[in-house]
Copies of this chain bind each other. A is one copy, B any other.
């Protein structure tokens, strides 16, 4: 078991009605609020009015940054930093899903960043000095509510870069806010959660049973509840279990003591989103089973782990590890398909025209080669091709 440090200072307030803590928590931090959100769905659901009422009662001055896109843009980060500086913002309140919260993390750090903001977003660094961030989560997917990471996209250069910023101070996680999430986005978000689990779980290292068991639990939980949430959008138990999985899956806890996979599917997916602006979770669902098949064929040392995945997560039985692993990957692909998301790049309108360029970019800093099962750029192209 490798060494690790656990230090997640987020105050995570989980459950229906937890918005009640917002006023008290914000007041502890500041009064000049930058409120960030996306395309306006929070206006339709009434959450915007609720939040504005609370901020008013708390005596806050509110500056707004709306229209934050999925795969949030560096342009929104720049706009937010400008608003913070002009309005002496002392706390950012992000209301939305992963894109709004990620963008807000980059804004929070950007305020103190002395230099080009895209340089900040595209370079490697540790935690950054940041404005305090509070968020109200409306989508179970990225786990940004409980981690210090954010992913920002530059559509001009077709780059999507993940990096470390700061932990939210408070995350308000009310599963009822996800009841209006469409079946498609529910499935995509759930695939994102599962991918976070796989990126920690599908490695060759053994002997870290708590992390392994947590990954297996989260995978089974998501596969149990995602179909229920799709069928019964208001099912609280389903929405709550998905949100709890979202919270934990990306926080690194499931990788404590081990190296994990090296996060290859995220690296490959970021290129799909950067070039074609597709939904992140869908890209991950398309890639994951193909990646598993590819590494199993490339390096049989991953077989014990994929067989364990088959038995402990997918319920595959039998003594033949290879048969179990192959069946498990097939079942996983069939599961993703059953949630209604496209499972080929062709369906997403993506051809092979940029595969070589995307593979090279995914391998920035030798990221693909340094994976637990090392992948060359040619391997990455083959995996993309298997997704057509």
Report A's interface with B, CB cutoff 8 A. Answer: 1-18, 175, 207-210, 212-214, 216-218, 220-221, 224-225, 236-237, 240-241, 244-245, 247-248, 256-257
Query: Could you say which residues of chain B place their CB within 8 Å of the CB of A257?
Result: 14-15, 240, 244
CB nearest neighbor in B for A21:
B5
B5 near A11: Cβ-Cβ < 8 Å: yes
Instruction: Assess A241 versus B209: contact at CB under 8 Å? Given A3-B18, A14-B256, A16-B3.
Output: yes
Chain B min CB distance to A100 (Å)? 21
B213 near A209: Cβ-Cβ < 8 Å: no
Q: How many copies does the complex hold?
A: 2
B224 near A220: Cβ-Cβ < 8 Å: no
Cα distance A5–B10 in the bound complex, in angstroms: 10
Instruction: Assess A1 versus B236: contact at CB under 8 Å? Given A210-B245, A241-B208, A244-B210.
Output: yes
CB nearest neighbor in B for A7:
B11
Query: Could you say which residues of chain B place their CB within 8 Å of the CB of A12?
Result: 5-7
Query: Could you say which residues of chain B place their CB within 8 Å of the CB of A241?
Result: 1, 207-210
B244 near A1: Cβ-Cβ < 8 Å: yes
CB nearest neighbor in B for A5:
B13
A237 near B207: Cβ-Cβ < 8 Å: yes
Chain B min CB distance to A296 (Å)? 25
A217 near B210: Cβ-Cβ < 8 Å: yes
Chain B min CB distance to A132 (Å)? 15
Instruction: Assess A213 versus B208: contact at CB under 8 Å? Given A240-B257, A256-B244.
Output: no
A14 near B4: Cβ-Cβ < 8 Å: yes
Query: Could you say which residues of chain B place their CB within 8 Å of the CB of A10?
Result: 6-7
CB nearest neighbor in B for A236:
B1
Chain B min CB distance to A310 (Å)? 18
Query: Which of B3, B236, B237, B248 contacts A210 (CB under 8 A)?
Result: B248
B5 near A14: Cβ-Cβ < 8 Å: yes
Chain B min CB distance to A28 (Å)? 13
**Known interface pairs A6-B14, A207-B240, A208-B241; 14 further A-B residue pairs with C-beta atoms within 8 A, sorted by A's residue number:** A1-B236, A3-B13, A3-B15, A3-B17, A5-B13, A6-B11, A7-B10, A7-B11, A9-B9, A209-B220, A210-B244, A213-B214, A213-B217, A217-B217
CB nearest neighbor in B for A12:
B6
